[in-house]
Amino acid sequence: MTDERMARMGLASVHDAGDARLHALVGREGAVEVWDHLRSGHGNTAMSRRAAMVDLSDVVKRTQAVGARFVIPGDQEWPVSVEDLSWSDPVGGFGGAPLGLWVIGKNLAESSPSVAVVGSRASTTYGEHVAADWGAGLTERGWTVVSGGAYGIDACAHRGAIAGGGLTIAVMAGGLAQLYPPGNTALLRKVCEVGTVISEFAPDCPPSRARFLVRNRLIAALSQGTLIVEGGMRSGAQNTVSWALSMQRVVMATPGPITSALSVTPHRLIRSGEAILVSSVDEVISALGPADTSIPDYPLQQPTLFDTLTPTQQAVYESMPGRGGISMDELCVLTGETALTLLAVLAQLTQASLITEAAPGTWKLTHRS
């Protein structure tokens, strides 16, 4: 007998990147049934063989070791907007909603409405300048900036968002044990602190070309719109754009000098009508339209209960796991607060129904239905 979270963690540890059939099967049969079926050796596929070999307790340990939590549909911080991937299929039998997400950093439910800022790794000074400006300008206006953590435009968008004092989400194409690319480790660690880093791949799964492509669909799905900054003739940004368009998301492009090869993709998208030309934060926000409040996990703009907490209460609340439980000792280490302070804060948070005592002497987030 396996619970839903463990089944999804198992499936997420063995699935092929972007296996839409598996996602569909889980939707029909349930994760537990599919996982138990795979584990029992049925099918004799590469996936069932991998399933037979996976040690789930090890995946749990690795998840904790990298400071991540494994979030699944139904969790308070599950980003419901990724469910749009269930019906989006621009490339045929490829994609689907993620089975679960490994998450480090801020609670995803506390993100404001998000906009993706993506573009070329081999960026120009112009593109980097503009990406950082978008990152700062959009977070200053209350938007969370989603990107892929890559060199070039992605990194500058994250940096700008951090500089703007806002939230940013980096979506990885591999597991969270090795934040990729290595040259951006310091930046991605910073995102873990002030924003959120997520992956649909188990902590030790290396990035691959296929995983980069399916990663792009998550960037598009997490965001109300996608904004391209620089892309050459064959740009990965085009892939993100296809996903965004297939989910009826807004696509925007930043124009640039026609003398630059990296203006090719933005200009082509504008010419074809796939993207709206944007040249200021006002234009981006106007193109995005009102924050989509139909996405229940992106409720902000108005203050939440979380915003009313003291810094210490927030720190404790943020340390809470969604499942399992965290002990007093662990909380002391994580927050740097004394046991006495923590006891008071735990009582306050419990009273506010934000956290729940799990096993005696351990606490976790209250599961919101």
Q: Is 257 in the site for a copy of itself (CB under 8 A)?
A: yes
The window from 96-104, 149-157, 267-275, 354-362 that contacts a copy of itself (CB under 8 A) reads: 267-275
Residue 115, beta-bridge partner list: 145, 225
Distance CA 342, CA 326 (A): 12
User: Which is nearer to a copy of itself, 232 or 255 (by Cβ)?
Assistant: 255
Half-sphere exposure of 302 (CA within 13 A, CB side): 2
User: Of 156, 188, 184, nearest to 169 (Cα)?
Assistant: 188
Dihedral angle computed from the Cα positions of residues 365, 223, 139 and 66, in that order, rounded to the nearest 10 degrees = 50
Site string for a copy of itself, 272-311 (x = CB under 8 A): ----xx-xx--x----------------------------
Alpha-carbon Rg for the chain, nearest whole angstrom, is: 20
Q: Which own/partner pairs from 345-354 qualify as long-range (CB within 8 Å, at least 24 positions apart)? A: 345/312, 345/313, 345/316, 346/316, 348/313, 349/313, 349/316, 349/317, 352/305, 354/305, 354/317
User: Which is nearer to a copy of itself, 286 or 308 (by Cβ)?
Assistant: 286
3-state secondary structure of 117: strand
Number of residues that bind a copy of itself (CB under 8 A): 19
Site string for a copy of itself, 110-149 (x = CB under 8 A): ----------------x--xx-------------------
Site string for a copy of itself, 173-202 (x = CB under 8 A): ------------------------------
Distance CA 26, CA 10 (A): 12
CB 250 within 8 A of CB 224: yes
Minimum distance, C-beta of residue 255 to a copy of itself, in the bound complex (Å): 4
Minimum distance, C-beta of residue 276 to a copy of itself, in the bound complex (Å): 7
Among 63, 123, 254, 265, binds a copy of itself (CB under 8 A): 254
Minimum distance, C-beta of residue 219 to a copy of itself, in the bound complex (Å): 22
Minimum distance, C-beta of residue 256 to a copy of itself, in the bound complex (Å): 6
**Binding positions for a copy of itself, rule: CB under 8 A:** 126, 129-130, 254-259, 263-264, 267, 270-271, 276-277, 279-280, 283
